[in-house]
Amino acid sequence: MALASRRRRAEDAPYWPGFVDAMAQLLLVITFLLSVFMIGQFLLARQISGQDSALGQLRSQIAELTHLLALEKSARAEVEASLGALQDDLSAEKLKTEDLSAMLASESEKGSSAGSALTGLRTALDKEKTISADALAKVELLNQQIAAMRRQLQTLNALLTDAEIRNKASEAQIADLGKRLNTALAQRVQELTRYRSEFFGRLRQILSQRSDILVVGDRFVFQAEVLFEKGKANLNPEGQREMLTLADALKQLEKEIPSDIAWVLRVDGHTDVDPIQSPEFRSNWDLSAARAIAVVNFLIDNGVSPQHLVAAGFGEFQPIDPGSTEEAKSRNRRIELKLTER
């Protein structure tokens, strides 16, 4: 309230000097009029005492004073009107002052709540500054790690470039070696083909009188009945004689073929489609494999190297005659010999 009073006095102060000046002027005018009136009375007394001309002058002066008085009255009215306007302005300013005081009180209350909010914001700002400092430290550490990774990447790129150069040289060497190897393999295949032809030529000469031994492509086909009893996997005497002839031819071939040529004689066992009816073999797979193994074992026992022999059983699943007659079944029961690469 004291602050409001001081503000009100400070705001009212500019209007009072004008008011005081107006009153002072009014008093001066009145004093002047009284002085003039007294002078006029004095002069009138002198003129009454015998000077008619002075009376005329006095009348003239009175007229002038009357005019001046009228002017002063008009000025006084204007001063009073100005004073009323000033009072109205003063009232309006008082109302504005009261409004400003209310607004100031409201703003003071808002300032208190804003101060609390500002304190909270400062606390949050301090926390954010701490978090920012930690984040900057982490960023700096990450930058150092990235720089180290870039150095490692440059080193790896240099190593990769060297490796690519060496790889190209190696690829050229491998391509050259591949060409040489292909050439050597082709030569070996040609040699093996030649020895195969010679081997089969000899077998044809040896077995040319047998009608139950067929030549199918690059394979010799022995009917199973020539070598085994029905449902058995033991070579019969006739079969042993045939395989002994084969063993002699293979031993001669082993001497002629160079040791660096990888070759084998594959012995394949085949059966017909009739299920095996024997407690010794569970299926035609077992029978075909057992017969192929029996031939291989006989050849090994008669001096053929095991490294040059392979036994395989195909059961009834690779027939050479798709028919279902007894003749077709007889042709499908067979032992095949094939000289091939290892």
pLDDT tens profile 108-132: 676 666 667 667 777 777 777 777 7
| pTM of structure | 0.44
* Residue 172 counted as domain residue: no
Count of alpha carbons within 13 angstroms of residue 177, beta-carbon side: 6
Of 73, 100, 122, the last residue of a domain is 122
Tell me: pLDDT of 337 over 80: yes
337 in the same domain as 239 = yes
221 in the same domain as 116 = no
pLDDT band at 312, cuts 50/70/90?
very high
Helix/strand/coil for 1: coil
Helix/strand/coil for 286: helix
112 in the same domain as 223 = no
Q: Which two tokens stand for residue 181?
A: 């190897």
CATH number at residue 268: 3.30.1330.60
335 in the same domain as 215 = yes
pLDDT of residue 28: 85
pLDDT of residue 199: 59
pLDDT, mean of residues 222-240: 92
* Residue 150 counted as domain residue: no
Read off the pLDDT of residues 54-95 as tens digits, 9 standing for 90 and up: 556 767 777 777 777 777 777 777 767 776 776 777 777 778
- The amino acid at residue 201 is G
Domain count, the chain: 2
* Residue 171 counted as domain residue: no
* Residue 292 counted as domain residue: yes
pLDDT of residue 291: 97
Tabulate helix, strand, coil % of the chain (nearest 5).
75, 10, 15
Q: Tell me the C-alpha to C-alpha distance, in Å, between residue 5 and each of 10, 17, 93, 258.
A: 8, 19, 13, 131
Of 99, 122, 145, the last residue of a domain is 122
* Residue 137 counted as domain residue: no
Tell me: pLDDT of 329 over 60: yes
Question: Between 161 and 334, whose confidence is greater?
Answer: 334
214 in the same domain as 112 = no
332 in the same domain as 215 = yes
Read off the pLDDT of residues 234-271 as tens digits, 9 standing for 90 and up: 999 999 998 998 898 889 888 888 787 788 999 999 99
Of 122, 148, 170, the last residue of a domain is 122
What are the phi and psi torsion angles at 279 (to 5°)?
-70, -15
Owning domain of residue 294: 210-341
8 in the same domain as 108 = yes
pLDDT of residue 294: 97
pLDDT of residue 103: 79
* Residue 35 counted as domain residue: yes
Contact at 8 Å (CB) between 267 and 261? Answer: no
**Residue 179, Cα to own-chain centre: how many angstroms?**
45
pLDDT of residue 89: 74
Read off the pLDDT of residues 157-194 as tens digits, 9 standing for 90 and up: 888 887 778 877 777 777 777 676 666 555 555 655 65
118 in the same domain as 218 = no
Question: Between 47 and 324, whose confidence is greater?
Answer: 324
230 in the same domain as 329 = yes
105 in the same domain as 7 = yes
* Residue 189 counted as domain residue: no
pLDDT, mean of residues 135-153: 81
* Residue 167 counted as domain residue: no
